[in-house]
């Protein structure tokens, strides 16, 4: 398969960054670590907001400022030292998360790192993206201003259009048959509960990678944090009007990162909205499948998995420790063997990268159609190229 013009362009940009900031500080090499770092910022700022947030619609209790969701958010913004800044950090870090995820997706797409044995990372990535989108949207419901009310009503009417599952979904979403105090506690539960579930989804995302890059050099984190703070300073969050269940707000400010589906819903109506959302998610999920890639002429050659020469393997585990994709499993050696363990390759996880061949000092693992000397030569070339660009 020919390298596409976009991939060449991407690699050119990557090379340019290497020349300007060196490969250690090339942000494109930390594409997965960026959303991970932003997630920490979101967790910490969210925890601070949670300390004063009151998830009710009706005026409830506490002091005169902390009587309902809207006034508690107002109280955080106006009365708590740095409250407005923490709120803005939480909101813009959410936007930064979407931007970082998009950058990550673009990078894995244009460097062809989503096919074959990486399909698990790709599909769990789509799940992560959907979760992040929904967490961000529930964040907007929590403020309980006119926009929150409009978004809640739009969601309820979109569920209404779904035959069969619409009613239970509506009931689940509103936590009852109408918008009440329980609705807001449900939104808070979804917002926080899904945020913690992200950690589990991330574990599944990483489980097939031996050494995922999740910590960039601190300088990159500081720059990212500074960028978020600049946006916080330039675009402070403005005051809005409290939701009133007796009114019908019809327009709202749209956050393009999280609320674009509502724009689509408003523009097309629930029928077209659900069909297009379903198709979008389906296409994104099936794209790594070889049959789909073949349609676009983008299928890669099938990988020829590494093979263990059973008679030579001493069970030293070096290949197992070095394999980047957890494609090697150590199993008990056959009874007639002098050794305890034997390496075995899971072909569906193997990328054919040859790292295990380089790791084995006993010539006990090979890539079919590739001699050990070829592999050693290939590894040397890659190491030299890496050193040259550093
Ligand atoms: C919360 C959001 C996400 C986080 C924190 C995250 C984080 C990461 C990290 C740290 C890696 C390892 C990168 C490396 O070692 O170079 C990775 C790999 C990967 N991610 Fe994500 N990811 C997220 C969402 C996504 C999304 C939305 C997609 C695509 C739909 C995706 C697709 C992939 C793929 C295909 C890989 C394997 C790349 C490789 O082997 O080089 N991820 N992710
Ligand atoms: S070639 Fe070896 S190191 Fe590379 S993925 Fe396959 S088993 Fe793992
Ligand atoms: S490195 Fe070689 S000898 Fe050691 S477990 Fe792997 S295949 Fe066997």
Do 363 and 343 lie in one domain? The reply is yes
The closest-lying atom of ligand 2 relative to the alpha carbon of residue 326 is 8
Do 275 and 311 lie in one domain? The reply is no
Do 276 and 129 lie in one domain? The reply is yes
Do 181 and 63 lie in one domain? The reply is yes
Of 15, 156, 140, the closest CA to residue 69 belongs to 140
State pLDDT tens for residues 341-369.
999 999 989 988 889 998 999 999 998 87
Do 236 and 329 lie in one domain? The reply is no
Do 134 and 221 lie in one domain? The reply is yes
Q: Which residues contact 122 (CB under 8 A, 6 or more apart)?
A: 108, 114, 287, 288
Whole-angstrom distance, CA of residue 379 vs CA of residue 94:
40
Residue 11 lies in a domain: yes
Query: Could you give the percent of the chain with pLDDT greater than 70?
Result: 96
Residue 83 lies in a domain: yes
With both helix axes pointing from N to C terminus, report the angle between 69-78 and 83-110 in degrees, rounded to the nearest 10. Answer: 100
Q: Residue 365 sits in a domain of what CATH number? A: 3.30.70.20
Ligand 2, pocket residues at CB < 6 Å:
306, 323, 325, 327-328, 345, 350-356
Residue 129 lies in a domain: yes
Do 259 and 382 lie in one domain? The reply is no
Q: Residue 74 sits in a domain of what CATH number? A: 1.20.810.10
Which ligand neighbours the alpha carbon of 98 most closely? 1
Per the structure, the complete domain to which residue 313 belongs is given by 307-389
The burial of 186, by beta-carbon neighbours within 10 Å (0-12 exposed, 13-18 middle, 19 or more buried), is given as buried
Do 228 and 327 lie in one domain? The reply is no
State pLDDT tens for residues 92-124.
999 999 999 999 999 998 888 888 888 999 999
Q: Of 295, 316, 350, which residue constitutes the final position of a domain? A: 295
Q: Is 342 close to ligand 3, i.e. is its CB under 6 Å away?
A: no
Mutate to test the pocket of ligand 3, among 305, 309, 315 (most ligand atoms within 8 A of CB): 315
Residue 302 lies in a domain: no
pLDDT at 315: 96
Residue 300 lies in a domain: no
State pLDDT tens for residues 27-47.
999 999 999 999 999 999 999
* Mean pLDDT in residue range 141-161: 96
The closest-lying atom of ligand 1 relative to the alpha carbon of residue 35 is 5
Residue 237 lies in a domain: yes
With both helix axes pointing from N to C terminus, report the angle between 5-21 and 83-110 in degrees, rounded to the nearest 10. Answer: 130
Q: Is the pTM of this model over 0.75?
A: yes
pLDDT at 281: 97
Do 268 and 320 lie in one domain? The reply is no
Q: Of 263, 295, 327, which residue constitutes the final position of a domain? A: 295
Q: Where do the H-state alpha helices sit in the chain?
A: 5-21, 33-50, 69-78, 83-110, 119-142, 146-160, 166-174, 181-206, 218-234, 260-268, 270-286, 290-295, 318-322, 355-359, 372-389
State pLDDT tens for residues 298-330.
777 778 899 999 999 999 999 999 999 999 999
Do 231 and 355 lie in one domain? The reply is no
Q: Which residue has the tokens 């050990």?
A: 372
Do 151 and 193 lie in one domain? The reply is yes
The burial of 332, by beta-carbon neighbours within 10 Å (0-12 exposed, 13-18 middle, 19 or more buried), is given as exposed
Do 259 and 133 lie in one domain? The reply is yes
Q: Of 268, 295, 322, which residue constitutes the final position of a domain? A: 295
| Number of independent structural domains in the chain | 2
Residue 377 lies in a domain: yes
Whole-angstrom distance, CA of residue 308 vs CA of residue 306:
7
Q: Is 161 helix (H, G, I), strand (E, B) or coil?
A: coil
Ligand 1, pocket residues at CB < 6 Å:
32-33, 35-36, 101, 104-105, 108, 113-114, 118, 121-122, 125-126, 128-129, 132, 202, 205, 209, 212-214
Residue 54 lies in a domain: yes
State pLDDT tens for residues 210-232.
889 998 999 999 999 999 999 99
């Amino acid at each position: 398969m020919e390298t596409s013009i976009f991939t060449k362009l991407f690699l050119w940009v990557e090379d340019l960054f290497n020349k300007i900031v060196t490969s250690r500080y090339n942000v494109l090499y930390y594409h997965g670590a960026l959303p991970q770092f932003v997630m920490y910022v979101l967790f910490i700022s969210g925890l601070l907001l949670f300390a004063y947030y009151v998830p009710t619609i009706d005026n409830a209790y506490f002091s005169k400022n902390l009587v309902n969701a809207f006034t508690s958010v107002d109280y955080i913004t106006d009365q708590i030292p740095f409250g407005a800044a923490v709120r803005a950090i939480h909101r813009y870090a959410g936007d930064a998360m979407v931007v970082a995820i998009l950058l990550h997706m673009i990078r894995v797409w244009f460097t062809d790192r989503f096919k074959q044995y990486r399909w698990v990372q790709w599909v769990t990535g789509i799940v992560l993206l959907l979760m992040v989108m929904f967490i961000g949207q529930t964040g907007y419901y929590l403020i309980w201003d006119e926009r929150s009310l409009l978004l809640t009503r739009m969601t309820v009417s979109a569920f209404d259009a779904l035959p069969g599952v619409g009613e239970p979904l509506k009931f689940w979403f509103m936590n009852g048959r109408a918008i009440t105090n329980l609705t807001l506690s449900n939104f808070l539960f979804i917002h926080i509960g899904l945020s913690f579930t992200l950690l589990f989804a991330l574990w599944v995302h990483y489980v097939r990678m031996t050494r995922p890059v999740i910590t960039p050099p601190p300088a990159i984190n500081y720059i990212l944090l500074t960028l978020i703070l600049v946006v916080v300073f330039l675009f402070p969050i403005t005051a809005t009007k409290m939701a009133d269940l007796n009114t019908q707000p019809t327009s709202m400010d749209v956050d393009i990162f999280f609320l674009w589906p509502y724009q689509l819903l408003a523009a097309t109506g629930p029928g077209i909205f659900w069909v297009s959302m379903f198709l979008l998610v389906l296409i994104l999920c099936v794209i790594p499948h070889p049959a789909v890639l073949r349609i676009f002429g983008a299928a890669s050659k099938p990988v020829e998995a590494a093979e263990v020469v059973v008679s030579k393997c001493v069970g030293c585990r070096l290949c197992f420790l070095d394999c980047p994709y957890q494609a090697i499993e150590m199993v008990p050696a056959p009874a007639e063997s002098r050794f305890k363990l034997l390496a075995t390759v899971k072909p569906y996880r193997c990328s054919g990268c040859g790292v295990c061949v380089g790791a084995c000092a006993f010539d006990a693992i090979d890539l079919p159609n590739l001699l050990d000397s070829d592999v050693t030569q290939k590894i040397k070339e890659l190491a030299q190229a890496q050193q040259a660009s550093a």
